[in-house]
Chains A and B, each alone.
Chain A
Amino acid sequence: MTYGPHTAEDRAQMLRAIGVDSVDDLFADIPASLRSSGLDLPAPEAEVDLAARLSELAACNRVDLMSFLGAGAYRHFTPPVVDQLLLRSEFYTAYTPYQPEISQGTLQTIYEYQSLMAELTGMDVVSASHYDGATATAEAALMTCRATHRERVLVSRGVHPHYRQTICTYFAGASLVADDIPLVADGPDAGTTDLAALERLLADTDHPVAGVVVANPNFLGLLEPMAEIGRLTHAAGALFVSVVEPVSLAVLASPGEYGADIAAGDGQPLGIPLAYGGPYLGILACREALVRGIPGRLVGMTADIDGKRAFVMTLRAREQDIRRDKASSNICTNQALCALAAAIYLGALGPHGLRDVAALGAARASELETALAAAGAPRIHPGPYLNEFAVRVPDAAAVHSRLIGRGILAGVPLARLLPDEPTLADGLLVCATEVTTQAEIAAFAAALGDELAGSGRGATKQRGADR
């Protein structure tokens, strides 16, 4: 067997010790009518052939495109030290630190991750990790219902549509209600959460609101009036959930500063590869008052019997293995290695480096805005943004598709993700980060200008020349 150590003699020796003639005897408990014989799968493949197969599959993915795509997952530079350290066997081949005496490495790194994320979010308590931003947000919404004994949350339509759909999936099971807060349709605040609508929704005292969920920056890249939303939310006795992008927190006001009770988000931008959607890092953080209701593992500092500082999983009675059907969540396996990646990334960048990443993304995005506007694709919304924004492009989906032929991944057509927002039907959501180059911006603007001028049709075969 490929990775097994047993020789024929080993197997024979084990069978003798057990006192059976063949391995088949060990499966005697399987009722005869339920037994199957073998698997209809391809033959084993030697590593050299497997490596070739995998390389070939990987090469079928077009990661060569110049990408301006964000929309919930972001391309960043990951210092090589991150991956090098993650590949320490002692980290990635260990499991949940059930035996703290021989798991101090994992435990201390989780404690440090909690601390780093608490600094970024301005929160007191950070769970050791959730699956991704969407499930962390759904868990945050469930937390508000448990904490307030209310059954309805309000979710801004500025929250990532996939997150909103995930909340709906989770809420359907629990028979809870998630209502949308619309976005402002036009004017200076277009594309941000409609505060008047929020007030109306909160005023429905027959259906009291447990929590209000708003993203900053929102899905359209816009900055939301978080302090005001928090004030309205708290006035109605509800809890305020802020959905955040962690790199932005180097420069943007933190949930702690504007009064959020819970922060959720995806830690993928912190040194975790895009990898077609996962594994990512669900960030879930809250104020101290909610600590008994936060789902997921927590690591705390303590001492051993000699008084030596040490770390251990704590407040375990919240969890499924102890509280079973009354647990705060069913989560067990989490995304610990991704949390470690984020912690190493933050250590490698430091506070100034992280600020530079965020600010450089903002600077590149300004340049992108200017270049695209000059090419005929102006921003749709007037409000402030950090590094992602929507532009208006006639026949956006077709243009997006033709630009791929020119080697450019022009963000994502908003109609694909927000089919129910007709005012955004001609929108492309684009983003820039510190790895976006000025040459790429120029190439994108030129190709887009070309397309919009009508000369781009049939240009799909010129990819090489364009790059």
Chain B
Amino acid sequence: MVPKDLRYTKEHEWVRVEGDMATVGITEFASEQLGDIVFVELPEIGRTVTQFAAVGVIESVKAVSDLFAPLTGEVVESNSELSTAPELLNSDPFGKGWMLRMRVDDAAQVGALLDAAAYEALTSEA
């Protein structure tokens, strides 16, 4: 049951595309796999990121995972609440646990992302 209006990556990020802006987070599946998340490292504002390149880190008690940029563009905002409340990634990954907002360079890249059905298929195999 993942939100239908979002796009997804194979690395378990979700993306909400609105015009040339995109909001990025990790899916509930990812947050469950990681377990209790204790620390998040996000890219600084203004940084240009490349699609599918590692831009941040998500740490749980016993695992660590890279955060990948789903699209190429510039980071315009990151969720500062996560620095003191990383548990939002566990309690509300699609909502208050959003991670960053970016200005997208090339809307065509969205086509390389999965839709909800394809993502569900991916996670049900796992």
Contact = CB atoms under 8 A, between A and B. Distances in A.
Interface string B108-119: 000000000000
Contact of A322 (B39, B41, B63): B63
Contacts of B41: 292
A316 B62 contact: yes
A317 B41 CA distance: 13
A323 interface: yes
A323 B39 contact: no
Contacts of A326: 64
Nearest to B60: A317
Q: Which of A315, A317, A323 has the most CB of B within 10 A?
A: A317
Contacts of B62: 316-317, 322
Interface in A297-324: 315-317, 322-323
Contacts of A322: 62-64
Q: Which of A292, A316, A323, A326 has the most CB of B within 10 A?
A: A316
A292 B61 contact: no
A325 to B, nearest CB: 12
Nearest to B58: A317
Interface residues of A, number: 7
Interface of B: 38-39, 41, 59-64
A291 to B, nearest CB: 10
Interface string A268-308: 00000000000000000000000010000000000000000
A292 B38 CA distance: 12
Interface of A: 292, 315-317, 322-323, 326
A315 B62 CA distance: 9
B53 to A, nearest CB: 14
Contacts of B39: 292, 315, 317
A214 B84 CA distance: 35
The list of the 6 closest CB pairs from A to B, nearest first, reads: A317-B59, A317-B64, A323-B64, A322-B64, A316-B62, A322-B63
Nearest to A326: B64
A170 B33 CA distance: 36
Nearest to B63: A322
A326 B61 CA distance: 16
A326 B63 CA distance: 12
14 contacts: A292-B39, A292-B41, A315-B39, A316-B62, A317-B38, A317-B39, A317-B60, A317-B61, A317-B62, A317-B63, A322-B62, A322-B63, A323-B64, A326-B64
Q: Which of B39, B41, B61, B64 has the most CB of A within 10 A?
A: B64
Contacts of A292: 39, 41
Nearest to B65: A317
A302 B122 CA distance: 38
Contacts of B60: 317
A326 B64 CA distance: 10
A101 to B, nearest CB: 16
Given A316-B61, A317-B64, 10 more contacts: A315-B39, A317-B38, A317-B39, A317-B61, A317-B62, A322-B62, A322-B63, A322-B64, A323-B64, A326-B64
A112 B38 CA distance: 24
A322 B62 CA distance: 7
A322 B60 CA distance: 10
A201 B41 CA distance: 32
A329 to B, nearest CB: 15
A276 B38 CA distance: 43
A292 B86 CA distance: 15
A104 to B, nearest CB: 18
A317 B64 CA distance: 6
B101 to A, nearest CB: 24
A316 B60 CA distance: 9
